Amino acid sequence: MKSLLILLAFLALSAAVVHAADKDSRLPNIFVFISDDHSQLDSQAYGSTEVRTPNMAKLAAEGMRFTHAFVASPSCGPSRTALLTGLWPARNGAEPNHKPKNPGVASLPPVLRALGYETVAIGKVAHNGFAKEHGFDTIVGPNPGFEDTAAVAKFLAARDASKPLCLFVGTRHPHTVWSNEPAYEPADMKIPPTHFDDPTARAERARYLTDVSKADTLLGEVRALVSEKVAGDTLFIYTADHGAALPFAKWSLYDAGIRVPLIIAWPGHLTPSTTSDAMVCWPDLLPTFIELAGGEVPEGLDGKSFADVLRGKATTHRDRVFSTHSGDGQFCVYPIRSVRTRDWKYIRNLHPEFQYHTHMSRATGPHRPLFWDTWLDAAKTNPAAEAVVNRSIQHPAEELYDLKADPFELHNLATAPEQAERLAAMRADLDAWMKQQGDTQTVFGNPLLLDEPVTLITPRSDQKK
């Protein structure tokens, strides 16, 4: 009897190994290209006529473009940690920028490894040196993100191709400091209505879009390498960690800060040139990969797989998304929370008595854009410039926007009597979510109160020079 049991156990194990090997041969390779600080609308794929991004447009022509893709937080560290853990910042611990996840919080790359994948991070995938905490098989620096594709080419040429590959690659573009040799004419720039239109703002926007095009070039080079070096079923994604380092974008919960490009090509699975308006969020990405690989998504995540959208079995995913921002060192001590439905957004500024600042208005050196000082000067005599500067620095306790009628979020309806019922409902929705998240509303750093003078800060990277 004992011999029979041993034989049966051996046969069962052999069958499991054969099944796993057979399953591995059918698993799609997964490639995720992440740019740094790229707002969704600044791309040809999303209708821009002022920037050249032919590789993003080509990817969209070959696959699916998501119009309602959002990040969990509009700064690098919290956004990327939410991606890799499937948890919003209050639950994973990476609330302010530059803080790692809490000890004991699980990451999702090891789940893919258990399914047979080789998991790899090249360039800026996690923030700072935090990639080592997320369970990748291979990590290739540098953290700031690659400016050429040499590391990607070297890795793909040397890897063992017997395993399916899940490869995240991250460039630093279009993160500041932007190019000093702009490829665009400032006169051709389209200045958002949230900004003050002057020559300096146009020149800085030309520099930013130049680096968006650099990210696009690298995207094309990575796709060419993947096509040459990686055989078999392949899913390829382009996305960004949050919006541009411009006013009312990065570090804010306006759409320019949290709404990002998400373009997915999957030959043989996705119909070319399709558009999805399903609401998805960055914490949803890895649960989606796990489901596509036939695995079980861990319980208790905030992220939810949208595999059925990719399989053509569903056209919707979420009915609302939540976003948080808790600060970035001493540059941005201004905690904010929001809930966004398809057509409405509610923003809560937890401390409206604080001044809102970012690197743009408090940093010294190259990370401080030239336009901010010209706006401050113009605000002394120009009411339009004064209005933009004041709106940037001082926010009300609550904001409510009709996104269909007001996509740039210019007209706050929080005090409109006809919106009182909607405001109360969205306020209660956010309250319940914050309670569920265990959000302590911690203030990280030392804020500037509205009546205090603005002091400037030298970034640590500049102090070392």
Beta bridge partners of 167: 31, 120
User: Residue length, the chain?
Assistant: 465
Sign of the CA dihedral running 186, 188, 190, 195: positive
Q: Around Cβ 386, how many Cβ atoms within 10 Å?
A: 16
Q: Higher model confidence: residue 408 or residue 4?
A: 408
Q: Is 70 in contact with 260 (CB distance < 8 Å)?
A: yes
What confidence score (pLDDT) does residue 12 get?
A: 36
Lookup result for tokens 């319980």 = 299
Question: Residue 131 — pLDDT band, cuts 50, 70, 90?
Answer: very high
pLDDT of residue 144: 77
Q: Which of 136-145, 193-202, 221-230, 362-371 has the lowest mean pLDDT?
A: 136-145
The CATH 3.30.1120.10 domain(s) of the chain lie at 323-463
Q: Report how far residue 58's alpha carbon sits from residue 367's, in angstroms, rounded to the nearest whole number.
A: 32
Confidence (pLDDT) at 25: 52
Span 263-313, pLDDT tens digits: 999 999 999 999 999 999 999 999 999 999 999 999 999 999 999 999 999
Across the chain, what does the average pLDDT equal?
A: 93
Q: Give the predicted TM-score (pTM) of the model.
A: 0.93
Section 65-76 average pLDDT: 98
The candidate with the shortest Cα–Cα distance to 53, out of 16, 65, 443, is 65
Q: Tell me how far apart the alpha carbons of residues 110 and 106 are, in angstroms, rounded to a whole number.
A: 9
Q: Is the pLDDT of residue 463 over 80?
A: no
Q: Cα separation of 81 and 88, whole Å?
A: 8
- For the cut 80, the answer to whether the pLDDT of residue 223 exceeds it is yes
Cα–Cα distance measured from residue 169 to residue 33, given in angstroms and rounded to the nearest whole number: 5
- Calculate what percentage of the chain has a pLDDT beyond 90: 90
Query: What pLDDT is stored for residue 461 in this prediction?
Result: 64
Label residue 137 exposed, middle or buried (CB < 10 Å: 0-12, 13-18, 19+).
middle
CB 40 within 8 A of CB 46: yes
Indicate the fold that domain 27-318 takes in CATH: Alkaline Phosphatase, subunit A (3.40.720)
Instruction: Label each residue of the chain as H, E or C.
Output: CHHHHHHHHHHHHHHHHHHHHHHHCCCCEEEEEEECCCCCCCCHHHCCCCCCCHHHHHHHHHCEEECCEECCCCCHHHHHHHHHHCCCHHHHCCCCCCCCCCCCCCCCHHHHHHCCCEEEEEECCCCCCHHHHHCCCEEECCCCCECCCHHHHHHHHHCCCCCCEEEEEEECCCCCCCCCCCCCCHHHCCCCCCCCCCHHHHHHHHHHHHHHHHHHHHHHHHHHHHHHHCCCCEEEEEEECCCCCCCCECECCCHHHHECCEEEECCCCCCCCEEECCEEEHHHHHHHHHHHCCCCCCCCCCCCCCHHHHCCCCCCCECCEEEEECCECCCECCCEEEEECCCEEEEEECCCCECCCCHHHHECHHHCCHHHHHHHHHCCCCHHHHHHHHHHHCCCCEEEEECCCCCCCCCCCCCCHHHHHHHHHHHHHHHHHHHHHCCCCCCCCCCCECCCCCCCECCHHHHCC
Cα separations in angstroms, 237 against 80, 168, 281, 316, 395: 15, 9, 14, 19, 35
Which token pair is 154? 């070297």
| Angle in degrees, 0-180, between the axes of helices 76-85 and 285-292, rounded to the nearest 10 | 30
Give the residue, 16 or 141, on which the prediction is more confident.
141
Q: Check pLDDT > 70 for residue 244.
A: yes
Q: What is the pLDDT of residue 129?
A: 87
pLDDT of 227 > 50? The answer is yes
Rounded CA gap, 246 and 256, in Å?
9
Region 47-72 average pLDDT: 98
**318 near 302, Cβ under 8 Å?**
no
Q: How far apart are CA 283 and CA 72, in angstroms?
A: 7
The pLDDT of residue 406 is above 70: yes
Q: Is the pLDDT of residue 207 over 70?
A: yes
Question: Range(s) for CATH 3.40.720.10 in the chain?
Answer: 27-318
**Per-residue pLDDT tens for 5-27?**
332 332 333 333 333 434 445 89
Q: Which fold has domain 323-463?
A: Arylsulfatase, C-terminal domain (3.30.1120)
- Chain centroid to CA 275: how far? 19
Mean pLDDT of 82-87: 98
> What's the pLDDT score for residue 145?
86
Angle at 55 between CA 41 and CA 153, to 5 degrees: 125
Predicted local distance difference test score (pLDDT) of residue 102? 98
Looking at per-residue pLDDT, the higher value among 16 and 123 belongs to: 123
What confidence tens digit (pLDDT) does each residue in 384-402 have? Answer: 999 999 999 999 999 999 9
Average pLDDT, stretch 192-197? 98
**The pLDDT value given to residue 26:** 80
